Amino acid sequence: MHLQIGLDDTDSTNGGCTTYIAARLVERLVEVDAHFIDYPNIIRLNPNIPYKTRGNAAVALRLEIPNAMYDSVVQIVLSEIEREGRIGDENADPAAVFLKGDPTQSVRELARRALSELVPLTDAINIIVESRAESASYGTGIGLVGALAAIGHTLDQDHTFELVAYRKRENCGSQRRVDEESVKRMNNSTRPYTFNNYDERNRRVLITPHGPDPVLLGIRGETAEIVREAFAMLSISEPVERWVVFRTNHATDAHLDAARGNGVKVNAPVVVNGEVDDRPERTVGGHVFFPIHTTQGRFTCAAYEPTGRLRDIIMQLIPGDQVAVYGGIPGRYGLTVNLEKLEILSLANLASTQNPLCPRCGKRLKSAGREKGFKCSRCSLVAREQERTRILKTRKLTPGVYLPELKAYRHLTKPLSRYNHERIWDGKPPLEKWHSP
């Protein structure tokens, strides 16, 4: 039988990690001869919901097992959650869902909603009951939403891969010992098939996180092979406890695709077309704000300081410019759209006026005072009937898609290098080596 296992919310602020549990489970399940029909999936859900501490990641494991193995697989999963799941920590509400067979239409629909909405726990529970799935949850139980959504999000369309390597427990909390030069070399020889490795502009390694969690590094790319090759190029001077290749919706804009047509709502991703209403303003902290009007109403768009050069693009917008804004409304500041991407659709004419030239000597005329026309400072001509002339200025901006700097990317942000290279999943199980040992 097919068995789908969803896991969520084993993270807490104290450094748990849902993917780490998944990595341990991969090894334990392979050991008992459970057959993986897909790479383990990391599914990022709606990044704008208020009760998440980090990236809102859930995991799905998809297995083919003999019917008789079901109970022992459930036991293995629950024992790992109890061992590693930070049960009892604030903000950690770990949950697991076990669904026999393949995801039903209602599970898939819940998954789509969980990318772009705040899904109530009762909706998830109803679908778990209706699909005869089994579940286990701790704390508030809210983890059931993500666990079920991970099962339903089968990544049939665009997807990417991430190789995640983990540290030994005794090293967690210390600086990660991954050689920066080797990251640059790996980046240069594998991009654009890998991405978000290194921020050239700010000279920052991006594959290593900074928290106390067990993740040593994560390499993102287009195929399982390329992330494995890239991993082999790194010089790492601390022991790697284990590693796994995940298939994910990272770098696919999945949340924005799911939000299309949903309108403008709090705690949701937003995709909306509009017209710039007023000149953008830059605050003391370096944040940039501008108002737009849309068929949904008038909103403020915000590009915060970490978005970097995107703010310089925005500062050149003028009233009348047509834009598509992509982002989210975390809800802390009312209906302010936190920009993740800006598409300039068309530019308004930027016009200014200037005094006419003297019809007698050709010098530019001066104003003779309010309502008094112009006079020439060279030949003293007085020209009462002349009018200021309107001139069009050229705009430096060009229509197109603009993203923030790398350091402001969300997990789901699709880098420009992936545009028009989206891929469809072939549905084949992982064949070669995709996890340690």
Footprint on this chain of Zn ion (rule: CB under 5 A): 358, 360-361, 376, 378-379, 381
Closest distance of CB 369 from Zn ion, Å = 18
Q: Which is nearer to Zn ion, 293 or 378 (CB)?
A: 378
Closest distance of CB 382 from Zn ion, Å = 10
Q: Which is nearer to Zn ion, 291 or 373 (CB)?
A: 373
Residue 236: name the closest of 208, 210, 212, 213 by CA: 208
Concatenating the DSSP letter of every residue in 81-98 gives HHHHS-TTSTT---EEEE
Q: Which is nearer to Zn ion, 75 or 380 (CB)?
A: 380
Return the residue matching tokens 């909103």.
299
Beta-sheet strands, E only, within 264-423: 268-276, 281-282, 288-294, 297-303, 322-329, 336-346, 350-354, 366-367, 374-375, 382-383, 389-393, 400-402
Q: Which is nearer to Zn ion, 32 or 379 (CB)?
A: 379
Prior bond to 47 cis, omega within 30?
no
Q: Which is nearer to Zn ion, 96 or 383 (CB)?
A: 383
3-state secondary structure of 186: helix
Closest distance of CB 381 from Zn ion, Å = 5
391: which residues sit within 8 A by CB, 6+ positions away?
351, 352, 353, 354
Q: Which is nearer to Zn ion, 73 or 376 (CB)?
A: 376
Q: Which is nearer to Zn ion, 129 or 379 (CB)?
A: 379
3-state secondary structure of 61: strand
73: which residues sit within 8 A by CB, 6+ positions away?
3, 5, 29, 32, 34, 63, 65, 98
Closest distance of CB 372 from Zn ion, Å = 16
Closest distance of CB 359 from Zn ion, Å = 8
Residue 302: name the closest of 337, 278, 270, 326 by CA: 337
3-state secondary structure of 59: strand
As a whole number of angstroms, the distance between CA 408 and CA 115 comes to 20
Closest distance of CB 361 from Zn ion, Å = 3
> Burial code of 129-163, b = ≥16 C-beta within 10 A, e = fewer?
eebebebbbbbebbbbbbbbbbbbbbbeebbbbbb
Q: Which amino acid does the sequence have at 336?
A: T
Closest distance of CB 379 from Zn ion, Å = 3
Q: Which is nearer to Zn ion, 83 or 364 (CB)?
A: 364
Q: Which is nearer to Zn ion, 74 or 381 (CB)?
A: 381
Distance (Å) of CA 198 to CA 172, 210, 236, 247, 406: 22, 15, 16, 21, 9
Q: Which is nearer to Zn ion, 293 or 360 (CB)?
A: 360
Closest distance of CB 415 from Zn ion, Å = 58
As a whole number of angstroms, the distance between CA 310 and CA 288 comes to 10
Prior bond to 437 cis, omega within 30?
yes
Closest distance of CB 371 from Zn ion, Å = 21
Q: Which is nearer to Zn ion, 30 or 361 (CB)?
A: 361
Closest distance of CB 378 from Zn ion, Å = 5
As a whole number of angstroms, the distance between CA 305 and CA 9 comes to 29
As a whole number of angstroms, the distance between CA 433 and CA 437 comes to 9
Closest distance of CB 364 from Zn ion, Å = 9
Strands 204-205 and 288-294: unpaired
As a whole number of angstroms, the distance between CA 271 and CA 292 comes to 13
